[in-house]
Structures are given as structure tokens and as C-alpha cells.
Chains A and B, each alone.
Chain A
Amino acid sequence: MSIRPSADSSAAPPARPTKNDMPTLVALHEAELAARDLYRIAVDSNVVADEDASAVVKLMVEHHRAYGQALAGLIGKLATNEADAAIVDAHKAAFASTSQFAGAANALENDLALRHTNAIGVLEGTEGAALVASIVITESRHAVITAELNGATSLDALLSTEVAK
């Protein structure tokens, strides 16, 4: 992107994450590791029989792992490298279930997209905002794909941002 704020901008935001940003970024880091672990449960449980669909689930593992790593790189020593236990506990049974997996994955992706969107409203540092924005864009795509895997065909269902299932 070639657009940058004007050099004489009087209140240019900080680039690096501020002290205030850290709790938000740590929470996102742990949420992403939870998503990674949940998709691993789905892979290990063979919830998707189709080989091509299974490749999609494995790709989800890689994406969420990448988000966790990128966020850890941003927060440095404060990175816990631990999954958010509440998120894992809330979804782990569904992620191990063939019939419930896709619906739970769709709810999780919408939940993560919402968490990251809300985070952008509070993050002061531009590097954090840029990273989280790049994650939101792909997690929104994940939401459409998981809706499709869950059998959605209508536009309303595919575009749904519903979190609770």
C-alpha cells in the first residue's frame, strides 16, 4: 500500500504495540492457539471423511498456527504460548463430532473475526492493527468456507456472522 499519513500529521499513532495494547494482543494470541488446537482435534478425530475437505481442515490448523506465531512475535516476552482454555472447552466436543464440526467451526471463525474486529477498535499501535486486520480478512473467508462445509447454500447463511450455534 502506498498510502501513508501525511508527514506533518500532528498526532501520528505509534507503530509498535503500546502497553495498553498488550492484554488485547495476548488474548488474541491465546484465542488463535485455541483455534489451532480445536482444528487439530478435528483432524485427529477424522471428522471429515472427504480427502479434499480434510485438506481444508488441515489448512485451517496451519492458518491459526500462523496467526498465533505472528501475534507472539508482536508481543514478545508476554506471549504465553498457551491456548485459551475457555474457547477449547466450549468447542472441543463439537470439533470431535462429524455432525457438529462444521457448525462449530463456523461459529468459531465468526467469533474470532468479531474478536479481532473489536480489537482493532482499541489497539493503539499501527503494527498490531495491521496484523490483526490481515487476520480478520482471512478469518472472514474461513467463515464462508465453514458455512459451506456445514451445508449452507443461501446467501444469508453464507454471509452470516452469527457466533453462537
Chain B
Amino acid sequence: MNDNNQTKFEFAGALNRRQLLGLGGSSLLGAALLAACSHDTPPATRVGDAVTTTTITEPEVNDVVLLRTAASLEYTVIEAYAQLAPFLTGDFASAKDAVDRFVADHEAHATAINDLVVSIGGEAYTQSNERINRLYIQPAVEIITGSDTVEPSPTPAEDALAVAIALENLAAATYQSVTSVLENLDVRKAAISIGQTEARHATILTRTLAPELTSIVPSKDPTTGADNLSALPSAFGSLSSISLTIGAPNESGTKTSLSLDTPSLNSLITE
């Protein structure tokens, strides 16, 4: 196969059936005419320097990589709790007991995940996820504490709890999402076993921050139309972005919003 044919083959492969049908009869006729009139001419010569492109090798996403990434998330949550716990004072001081328990759970989860990694031939990973720290944890903490450009939050305890809820939901969603991607069935079961514990953590923290019975069932803020915090936000575990609204309100009364997503290719911990 020469280069031209290779290009044609790749182009055809990039179109799905619907797109091919959508090309229409006229363009097919045109293509047939052009093909009938064509000669085997070389492609036009290029003038100037063409930028050389380098194809980035996509990392192999296997069970080891997914589990190492999950382990990194466990350490991320543990480290985040260390930063958030000091804010839990006043009415929310009792939440420190839950934080202590959840940190112990996450340490156990990290160990269990790394045991699985080793059992399937991988190398354990015992550090937090740098990208998730940088994208989510550090900005959230800065919004609570304030900085040269950010007013400190007037409700640090509530915001720390909100961050913790978001992180537990992120962990639960991560395990949910990898469950169907993992190849090893025993590993799948172990992953969702941990994921459901993270969901329980999130629910307990949600009830701490929003203890009214009305906060169990989903509802919307009548003024903004935004979803209120709910202990049972949806029938099925959601893999959508997790919205986190914290910090000092701006002039129009709006707080800062962060959107947390489960680890993507850039967050994977490869070997």
C-alpha cells in the first residue's frame, strides 16, 4: 500500500456509516468522475519548512495503571483531609471524628489496592496524584484560606466539608467508572467494594453539612435553580463532573465554582 492509498484508507476509516451516507449522491458521482479522469501524478511539492509532527505514544491503560491511579487518589484524599481538618471547628468540630475514621479507611483502601497491583504483577504506588492535587485540592484550599487575590472564606468549616464531600464523591465515581474497564473480575469486585465505602463516606458528610430530612431528596434552589446539596442526588451513581461551590461571595453574591472530574489520561499513574 502506497502513501496515497494509506491516506485514503485512513480517511474512510475515520467516517462512520451515517457520515458516509450523508455525503450524498452528487459527491459520490463527482468522486467517480474525478477518479475516471485522474492520472498517477505525484502530490504537489511543498514550499517552506513543514513542521515535523511527533505522534505521542498513548499509554497502555491496563488493570495495573487503573489501580495505581486509584491508589494515588486514595493518598490524595488522605493528604487533603490533613489540610481540611483544621477548618472543622465550631458547629462542625464533631466532623473531625468522621475525618479520622475516613482517613483510616482510605489508608486501608490504599493498602488493599496496592496489594492488588502487586498481585497482578505491578509496582505499588504510594504517592498522591500530582495533577489532581494541582487542579482541585490546592485551588480549593486557597479559596478557603484566601490569598493575595482571593478573599478568605467566611464559612471555612462548611467549605472544608463541601470539599471533603466532593472528594469522596470523586473517589466513589472513580471506582464506579473503572469497574467496567478493569479486565480481571476479582479486581472489579474489589474496586466497587471500595467505591461503595467512599459513597457511604460522602453520604455521612453530606448529612453532617445538610442534616435536614429535606436534604436527602434532590431539590433545587428556587432562586438560582441550582441543585441543592442532597444525600441521594440521583438514582444511579453519576459519572458527571462534580460541582463544588465554595469561598467568599463576590459582589453579586456568587461563590467560586470548581468542577471535579474523575482521573483522565493525564492523571493516570503509568509504570
Q: What residues make up the interface of A, taking CB atoms closer than 8 Å to B? A: 1-6, 8-9, 11-13, 50, 52-53, 55-56, 59, 62-63, 66-67, 70, 113, 117-118, 120-124, 126-127, 129-131, 133-145, 148, 155, 158-159
Query: Roughly how many angstroms separate A70 CA and B90 CA in the complex, as a whole number?
Result: 44
Contact in complex: A6, B234 (CB < 8 Å): no
Task: Answer whether residue B120 sits at the interface, using C-beta atoms and an 8 A cutoff.
Answer: no
Residues in A with CB closer than 8 Å to B195 are 133, 136-137
Q: Which of B175, B192, B239, B268 has the most CB of A within 10 A?
A: B192
Whether the Cβ atoms of A144 and B239 lie closer than 8 Å is: no
Chain B residue numbers with a CB within 8 Å of A67 are: 235
* Given A133-B237, A144-B203, A138 contacting B263 (CB threshold 8 A): no
Q: Is the CB of B200 within 8 A of A6?
A: no
Closest Cβ of chain B to A57, distance in Å, is 10
Known contacts A1-B177, A144-B200, A145-B216; is A138 also within 8 Å of B192 by CB? Answer: no
A158 touches B204 (CB 8 A): yes
Partner of A11, one of B176, B183, B189, B197: B183
Contact between chains at B235 and A137 (CB < 8 Å): no
A30–B199 CA distance with the chains assembled, in angstroms: 24
Given that A2-B264, A138-B232, A138-B235 are known contacts, is A121 also in contact with B186, CB under 8 Å in the complex?
A: yes
The interface residues of chain B lying within 8 Å CB-to-CB of A118 are: 189
Q: Are A3 and B268 CB-contacts (below 8 A) given A66-B236, A135-B236, A140-B200? A: yes
Residues on A with beta carbons closer than 8 Å to the beta carbon of B207: 144-145, 148
Main SS of the interface on chain B? Answer: helix
Among the listed B175, B214, B216, B265, which residue makes an inter-chain contact with A3, where contact means beta carbons less than 8 Å apart? B265
Q: In the complex, identify which listed stretch (B20-28, B54-62, B142-150) lies at the interface while the others stay far away.
A: B54-62
Within 8 A of A (CB), among B200-243: 200, 202-204, 207, 212-214, 216-217, 231-232, 234-237, 239
Are A134 and B237 CB-contacts (below 8 A) given A117-B196, A142-B232? yes
Q: Check A144–B204 contact: CB distance below 8 A.
A: yes
A110 CB to closest chain B CB, in angstroms? 10
Are the C-beta atoms of A140 and B196 separated by less than 8 Å?
A: yes
B61 touches A138 (CB 8 A): no
